Every structure is written in C-alpha cells, then in structure tokens.
Structure 1
Amino acid sequence: MSERRTFLDRGIGETRGVVTLDGRPERVILRRDEEDLRLALGARLIARVATVEPAIGVAFLDLGEGREAMLPFKPDARPVRGGALEVEIRSEAREGKLATARQTGEGDGAPRLLHPPPSVADILRSIVRDSDPVQGREARQAADDAEAEALEIVHRLPGGGDIAIEPTRALTSIDVDLGDRKGQDSKRAARHANLAAIAEGARLLRLKGLGGLIILDLVGRGHDGAALLAAARLAFAPDNPGVAIGPVGRFGTMELSIPRRTRPVSDYLLRAGGGLADRALAQRLVRRIEAEAQTAPGARIAATCAPEVAKAAEPLVALLAERYGARFKVSADPSQPRDRFDVAPA
C-alpha cells in the first residue's frame, strides 16, 4: 500500500509544498509572494474577449493589467469579441505559452479576479485528504530535496538501471537504460526495468510538473504490451482525468498524453540557457541566512555572493529583516561564482 505525506515550508518570499510517495518526492508546489494569482491554477475571473481565431478554435482573453490567457472553444460555442466571460484557469502559463482557461459562465464588467486560487496548503490537502502537512525544518529539507531531484535529468531505477527525462518544445522523452541489470537474464531484466521506468517516470513527471506528449523509449524487444499498458494505467491514474495511453509501437516506444496543469518546476528555478535563475539562487541564499540567524539569535550575519544574486536578494533580505530584525548585510563580490555563498556571523 503506497503512503503519501505532505510538507509545507513557509519561507521568506515563497511557500513550498511537497507530497512524498513512499518517502520519495512526488510533487513540489511553488508559490512566490509576488505572483499574480490571476494566472494560477483554479483562479476564477471575469475576462474580456480580446480576439477570436476561428481557424484554430482559440480566443485570446484580456485578464486585466496586461495579463492574457487562451480560451479554446468549439465551433458551436464561439465567443464574441469584446464580450465579458466568467472563466477559470485550467492550465498555468509556461515558458513561451499562455495560461489556458475554460468558460464557466457569462460575465459583466471589467476584467478582474473573482476568487483566488487554492493556497499551497489547500492544494496539499486536496491531494492527500485529511492530511496535516509537516512544517518547520523537516518541511524545508523535504522541499530542498524535492527541488534538487526535480532538476535532475538522469534518475536511478530501483533494482538497477536508470531513466533520462528530457523535455523539448514538442514533447518529453523518457529513455530507459538497463545499466547494471545487464548481467541478468536479458528478457527478464528488460521487463523489470520497463515496469520500474513506468512507475518512476509517472512520479517524476508529476514532480517536475511536466505534461503534454510523453514518449517512453522502452528497453529490449518483444514487449508484453498488455502488462506494460496495465502498469501505465496504474502509474498515471493520479493524473486523471485526461490521461491517454497508447499501445507499445513497433519501434518499442509507448506514447502518452498527460494534461498540462501547472507551471513546470524548471520555469521557476532555471534561467534561459540553463543554470539556476538569480531568483532561485537568492532564495537559497536567504534560506542559508535564515538558518544562521536561527542558530545565532541576535548576532549580526554577513553574506557575500555574486552581484546578480545580491540584487535579486534585496527584497527578500528586507522581508528577513522584518522577521528577525535589521541585522543582515549582503555584499556583492564580482569574483564570486553565482552558485557560491559565504554566510557567517559578522
């Protein structure tokens, strides 16, 4: 019987929620304090239809203050340009893509937020009913571990071998490798590796916040298609409704379509071209400073980091001072690597 637990880390400038499955991270939910809640999953709004594109069955919505979303529609339910609609965000914006909404009724008045999205705590309780999320240091460690695993590409499989998960603009590929299972009976080793890859792949896609078209490149030949299909239905059941699973193809691949709902974790944490974003590094820096402040109550804390990280950390350090007092100094050092911080009592 699988066991899920929840963790809630209320940090400086952001809140992080984590769901674990049998002790391993399955989901990480990030919510920055300054985020525009109009674009978060579950937000309900009045939107104005800005343009209608019948050729592709999509209307573009004005959510107010320059925010936009897409509204897919059927030919018999074409919205009217300039009309007001009540909508709900069903898929969050991601890099290069607008948020997607669905119409819930007719609207009136200017674009505005009617009801905010569920909080991180509410999301955790909706995933694991009647749960009381763990908080404090244990939650912070769980969130740090979840973020680290979400950003990895190659992941070890139980019993040996690994999978590599790599998203592209069109799809996400999952490549299965036997690794140290090769010394076993080849057909049996391939079967076990593929079954493990399906279970781990489902967990990791949820952790990374990835959806859309998934191509699972299985290992070996002569696959037991019925067994693999049954395993996939079980592994991806938490992602329903909307999951579609195809049979194993002639080239040894399985295709799946997983609904896109949340912003991928990498959009929060990585910058274009790779590497951690300045804001993600600033969050890590502030967590280090906060840990030092808790260890040495009343002491002045000095930190040194790269200039771009120091700049991103300025508003977070101000929030830190509101909580612990004005006893923190962050200095920019152009010679400091972006991912290195020096934090110690002054």
Structure 2
Amino acid sequence: MKGRAVLILEDEPAWPALAALMVDGRLHDLMVDPPETDRAPRLEAVHLARVIRRVEAIGAVFLDLGDGREGFLKSPRKARPGERLLVQVARHAEPGKATPVSDEPLFKGRYAILTPHAPGINVARRVRDEDEAARLRVIAEEALDEAGLSPDTLGEAAPGAILRSAAEGVDEEAIHDDVAALAELLNAARAAQAGDDAPGEIVAAPDAVTRAWRDWVDPEPDEVIRGDLRLWDDMGALDQLGALLRPRVDLGGEAWMMVEPTSALTAIDVNTGGDFSTASGLKANLAALADLPRQLRLRGLGGQIVVDLAPLTKRDRKQAETAIKRALREDPIDTQLLGWTPLGHLELTRRRERRPLTELLPRDFA
C-alpha cells in the first residue's frame, strides 16, 4: 500500500475507537480512545475548576476538577482557595497523581487554533505567500467578529487565533466554519466560568477519529478507509499493532532494541547481535535512534527516556545526536534531548501526551 492512508476501526464492541495513519504500508501514528469506564480526565478537555489549596514550596495549586478528580497547576500568581478557574488537561496523569492542567486553554481545529490568552491573528510560518496570509487573517477576523469575540467588542479580553499551515489554499467557507466552531466552544466555556456551575468538564476532549481528522491533515491523506479487524489484518496494520505490545523492535540484520517502560522511566537497550564491530554498533545505534520517536509515539510513552546504545566511540556521539535530533524534528510530541550521562547513556524527556498503549487495547490482544 503506497501513500498515506487513514484506517478507522469500526463495529468492534470489545475495542476502543481507533484510527491509524499508514505511510507506504507502515504504521506511522495512532489515535486510541480510553475505555468508556475510565474516569481519568482526558487530554485537551476543558474543566471549570475550584482551587483547593496552594503549596507555596512548589508554587502550585491543587484543584477540584469535579466528580472527585483532582488537578495540579503550576501557577506563578496567588490563586486563592475557592477561586474558580478555567483549565485544560495538559498531560496524562501518572497513577496516583493529580492531573496536570494549564490555565491557558487552547481550542484546536483542523485549520485554526484559538488562543484566548494570546491576542492577535497569526499565520503559520509555512504560509509564505503574503496575499494568502492576509486572506486567512480576514476570514478568521470575520468569524470571530460574528461570534462576538472581536477586539472591538471585548477589548483586551478578545482571543487570538493561529491559522495553521493546513489552511493554505482551503475554501473560505471551510476555514470560517472551523473558526466559528472553536469560537462557540470558547463562548460556552466562558459562560460556564461566569455562572455558578459546580466544578466539572465543560468542553469534552476530542475523540480518536476527531483527532485524526484534525491532526493528520498536512499533507492530506490519500484515502480514509473504515472497516473491522479483518480489514486491518488484510492491510497489515493488526500485526504492526500487536508488535507494539512487545518490547523487542528489530532493526535489520541481527540488531534489535528493547523498549521497556518502568514506573520511573522508559529504558531503551540497543543490541547488535553477534557482530561486535564498531561499524555494526554505529549502524544499529543510528537505526534505533531514527525509529525511536515513532516507537515512543505509537506505544504512548513519555516522561524520562534513557537510551543504552550499543558501544560507540565518543567521536561517534555527534553522529548519534544528529540522528535523534533529525528524527525528533518530524515528531509532533515535545521531546527534549538532555545529553549524555557519566555512564554513556543518552537521556531525553518527553511530554506525556498519550496513555500507554498497553492500557488501552483489549487485554486478550497480543
């Protein structure tokens, strides 16, 4: 299968909603909904929250998010107990911990992002044509004005917007409708904050299919295919999905790496098999680092990442750093390369944007 195809799983009662992006037959990205019984706040959901307590030592507040759920907000200002805040789930919580949230929610669409705390209409840098950028700004301004969110109406309280690169060349009506839908969500959230509602979810998180439609747009997929597990099996996606539940990742030849999450970190171990030459080790390391962001993305792993590479000389470290930096540039999840430990391990920290895949798929699937 050549090109970019989106597979959407349908009519499988024991499975969660699931969308996969296949590039030339290879699984490139994956969106999976948590089980319906899961009560954890979902990424991007907007909550009306109430401050429970402030912990001065860490400059943070703990929040009541509603339904017995607790949030954690790093806040530089003196939020008082009882104060009501509009917050957005920023990361998945580690087991037993409060959910990290942001008090600067973003409303993301297919073509635009509303930024309530950052005024002004901006266009993605990849849109280089000035006439096109001006067209996009006008469309966004008109849509916000119609929703009562223009600077003329709200002054400094007016939200800003970012026109995504995917909007370039798109029909005016589609962009207008996208901004208008986001404006409606923002107005609903602000109305709830101004009222006397109890803490709780105000704007639901987008589901897997919506996130796929929104995020896998640049470039546009060549086709969208809906079907059951048999279709996924026929297209080779099911085998690739099952492989993500196993730690071993083959790198070609005799080389492989192990991807093993623990409660403290995710450990990556690169092995060359029976060939212990320097050239073989460098080849295995470069292959592992090139594929590492994809493996972490598909497996839903974040936090601290420690990579134990096959033996390499200090002279080859630059090459290894170049390989991982190149791979990370193509990855949508924020990951920081921290450098080398005294033991020669490569350290990274990765934003926890996704739940581990092992928590989301049916237990009897392997």
Q: TM-score, normalised by structure 1?
A: 0.69
Hey, what's the Cα distance between the residues in 1 that align with 2:54 and 2:237? 41
Post-superposition CA distance 1:26-55 (Å, at most 9, x none): 433322462568711111121111222221
Aligned-partner Cα distance in 2 for 1:84–1:190: 55
Give 1:215's aligned residue.
Answer: 306
| Structure 1 residue 192 corresponds to structure 2 residue 275 | no
In structure 2, which of residues 24, 27, 32 is the aligned counterpart of residue 25 of structure 1? 27
Letter in 2 for 1:126: R
Superposed displacement of residue 104, structure 1: 2.4
Superimposed CA distance per residue, residues 268-294 of structure 1 (whole angstroms, 9 cap, x where no aligned partner): 34xxxxxxxxx633xx6xxxxxxxxxx
Q: Does 1:111 align with 2:203?
A: no
Q: Which residues of 2 match residues 31-180 of structure 1 at below 5 A?
A: 31-32=33-34, 34-35=36-37, 39-74=41-76, 77-104=77-104, 107-108=193-194, 109=196, 110-129=198-217, 130-131=220-221, 132-137=223-228, 140-141=232-233, 144-180=238-274
**Aligned mates of 1:240, 1:32 — CA distance in 2:** 20
Q: Give me the whole-angstrom Cα distance separating, in 1, the residues matched to 2:325 and 2:3.
A: 19
TM-align CA RMSD? 2.7
Tell me what 2:13 maps to. 12
**Of 271, 276, 280, which aligns to 2:363?**
280
Aligned residues: 268
1:6 counterpart SS class: strand
Once the 2 structures are TM-superposed, how far is the Cα of residue 56 of structure 1 from its aligned partner? 2.2
Match of 1:243 in 2: 335
What amino acid maps onto 2:57 in structure 1? A
Deviation readout 1:172-197 (Å, 9 max, x if unpaired): 11001001444xxx121111110011
Identical amino acids, percent of aligned pairs? 29
Change (3 A) 1:125 1:227: farther
Greater shift, 119-128 or 28-37, is seen at 28-37
1:121 alignment partner, SS class: helix
- 1:17 touches 1:121 (CA, 8 Å); kept in 2? yes
Correspondence 1:258 to 2:350: yes
Q: Which moved more, 1:137-146 or 1:41-50?
A: 137-146
- Structure 1 residue runs without a partner (length 5+): 270-278, 285-338, 340-346
- Give the superposition deviation at 1:225: 2.1
Measure how far apart 1:133 and its partner are: 3.1
Shift of 1:146: 4.4
Seen in structure 2, the aligned counterparts of structure 1 residues 91 and 146 have a Cα distance that, compared at 3 Å, is farther
Counterpart Cα distance in 1 of 2:298 and 2:275:
26
Residue range with higher mean Cα deviation, 210-219 or 132-141: 132-141
Instruction: Report the Cα offset of residue 124 of structure 1.
Output: 1.4
Asked if the contact 2:54/2:61 (under 8 Å) is kept, the reply is yes
Contact 1:92 1:98 in 2 (8 A): no
CA contact (8 A) 1:5 1:20 kept: yes
Greater relative contact order, per chain length (Cα 8 Å cut-off, separation 6+): 2
Q: CA deviation at 1:203?
A: 1.3
Measure the CA separation in 2 of the matches of 1:226 and 1:128. Answer: 32
Aligned 8 A contact 1:17 1:124 in 2: yes
Q: Is the 8 A contact 2:71 2:101 kept in 1?
A: yes
TM-score by length of 2: 0.66
Cα distance in 1 for partners of 2:224, 2:274 equals 38
Match of 1:200, SS state, is: helix
Question: Compared with structure 1, are the counterparts of its residues 70 and 140 closer, same or farther at alpha carbon in structure 2 (3 Å cutoff)?
Answer: farther
